[in-house]
Structure 1
Amino acid sequence: MSPFISLEGKRALVTSGTRGAGAATVKLFRELGAKVLTSARSRPEDLPAEMFVGVDLTTPEGCAQLAETVRQRLGGVDIIVHMLGGSSAPAGGYEALTDEEWRKELDLNLMPAVRLDRELVPAMTAQGSGVIVHVTSIQRVMPLPESTIGYAAAKAALSSYSKSLSKLVSPKGVRVVRISPGWIATEGSIAFAERLSGQHGVSVEAGRKMIMDALGGIPIGRPASTDEVANLIAFVSSDRAGSITGTEYVIDGGTVPTV
């Protein structure tokens, strides 16, 4: 019996694939038969060198270097997963965000996808097939005003760009899908819960609850696992999802309170 999902023979690029949901996606793609290339600023010891490109994707030069390496090592690409994202902006609402902080948020959460798509998608449309997955965030529809204004705005821009791109390239055989996670149980989020527990003199579990409360609660009572996010990305990247394009899949345990 053939597997429900196979990525056998597919050439895939997963940005920021050395930890968290990105690493889980790289691992699953490989298990499903894809030839995977990933990027970050530094390579973990357990990742084969031939699978890795060390680049800074917040710069045009880094994006150009990664695109050229994709062409050299893979001969093109069938799946692009834009996993890169995050925020280093200070808390304090709109007044705390200087022009430089706004630039950092856009250069991390929007422009790498724009630049890499511009480099790599024309070859996809020329071959008449391909999948682009833009990982956005539920923060685009429910930003935390004290801490994620810039991040949320950049992810909203990514989502709008993704929808526009889908209308341009889907008629040429290239699907574009958005994945919108809520809180994911990554190393970073666990460390954040531990910091909260230390700061407030409570248990780590209480620290986790503080994060969930800040999001308005998570109905299933826990964050998504990195494997759960990877599973969804693998499905929409596979031929099983052949008629899915231009849409968004939310994986947040029910956090977003509206339809």
Structure 2
Amino acid sequence: MEIDLQLNFKIQYNMYDSLKGKVALVTGGTKGIGKSIADKLSASGAIVVTTARAEGKENSNRHHFIAADLTQADSAEIIAKEILEKYGKIDIIVNNAGANLSPGGGFNTLEDEHWLKDWELNFMSVVRVNKALLPAMLKQKEGTIINISTGAAKQPIWEMTMSYSSAKAALNAYSKALANEVGPKGIRVNTVSPGVVRTPLMNEFVENIAQQSGSSFEDSFQNIIDTVGVPLGRMAEPEEVASIVAFLASSEAQYITGANISVDGGSAPTV
């Protein structure tokens, strides 16, 4: 019995204190998946910095917040400067900020501005944040980067996600290339690809589709589930994505790099 209690204590300690003293950045970290990731990393002992255009009403864990519009080219340098001046290091980067900003309807609906907005937010923002902070990681000779992609990068839905999916597909390729480059220098880079997740942004996305199609929210949601194909038959909760991110950020995943982990309820149609 005593051995069981000691083992249980060790497991609990590792789970909730595994990132003690680490400095983590979570972009788009004030709501939805990003907020869950920020809270999970904080619960695991990390000092967490979040970014978004505005802090919002809720910052329950009092994370260090930096206001930033990641579609602007200079935002990454501003974020990096503040983090390194205050903390002197960066251990974990979670590039979570992203959204499907374009209207549905296929290629003919999409103008240049739609493509550029999706690529600025979902791809170029990640490239810039990593470029601004990687030198500090390389100097430390350790660190981990986790880029949040989407299952739609591998399974695009032309009616809804054409430009968004293409930007995230580029993110997948970039992440693998970066992992190969910086792995020998002590930096791990992984990708997490959620499927349909219950977030305010997803609810807004479904509501827009419902309005465009003249159908109910429930019917539009079911149509997405049927189109994507989710064997578990439900949306993921943000916390379920956050748990994978926290694992990848921890020493428990120290031999994992260049991976793309799906959190999609089984919707990926291939092995």
TM-score (norm 1): 0.93
Distance 1:32 1:194 in 2: 35
Q: Secondary structure at the match of 2:50?
A: strand
The CA distance in 2 between the partners of 1:189 and 1:121, in whole Å, is 31
Quote the offset at 1:50 in angstroms.
Answer: 6.3
Tell me the residue number matched to 1:92. Answer: 105
What CA deviation, in whole Å up to 9, does each residue of 1:42-72 have, x standing for no partner? 0123327761011101111112111111112
1:223 to 203, 218, 235: 235
Give the 5 Å matches for 1:225-240: 225-240=237-252
Matched with 2:227 is 214
The 2-side partners of 1:200 and 1:94 are apart by 21
Equivalent residue, structure 2, for 1:78? 91
Is 1:116–2:129 an aligned residue pair? Answer: yes
Question: Following the alignment from structure 1 to structure 2, what is the Cα–Cα distance between the partners of residues 70 and 61?
Answer: 15
Distance 2:92 2:258 in 1: 15
Q: What's the counterpart of residue 253 of structure 1?
A: 265
- SS of 1:81's partner is strand
**1:196 to 1:14, Cα distance in 2 relative to 1, 3 A:** same
Q: CA RMSD in A?
A: 1.8
Q: Which amino acid aligns with 1:136?
A: S
Residue 45 of structure 1 aligns with which residue? Answer: 57
Cα separation, 2, equivalents of 1:193 and 1:151: 15
1:10 aligns with 2:28: no
Q: What do residues 22-55 of structure 1 show as CA deviations (whole Å, max 9, x unaligned)?
A: 0001111111110000000001233277610111
Give the Cα separation in 1 of the matches to 2:62 and 2:250.
26
State which drifts further: 171-180 or 70-79: 70-79
Structure 2 CA distance for aligned equivalents of residues 155 and 45 of structure 1 = 29
Q: Deviations over 1:162-208 (max 9, x none)?
A: 11100111101110000011110112223444566677565x54443
Q: Is the 8 Å Cα contact of residues 136 and 159 (structure 1) preserved in structure 2?
A: yes
Counterpart of 1:161? 174
- The answer on 1:146 being equivalent to 2:156 is no
Matched, 1:173 2:183: no
Query: d(CA) in 2 for partners of 1:95 and 1:205?
Result: 27
Matched, 1:63 2:73: no
Query: Where does structure 1 lack aligned partners over 5 or more consecutive residues?
Result: none
What is the letter of the counterpart of residue 52 of structure 1? Answer: F
- Tell me how far 1:148 sits from its aligned partner: 1.1
Letter in 1 for 2:161: T
1:76 Cα deviation from its structure 2 partner: 1.7
Deviations 1:65-120 (A, max 9, x none): 11111112221200000001112212221122222221111101001110111111
Paired letter, 2:165: A
The SS at the match of 1:46 is: coil
Partner of 1:107: 120
CA distance in 1, matches of 2:96, 2:125: 10
**Distance in 2 of aligned mates of 1:209 and 1:45:** 31
What is the aligned-residue identity percentage?
A: 38
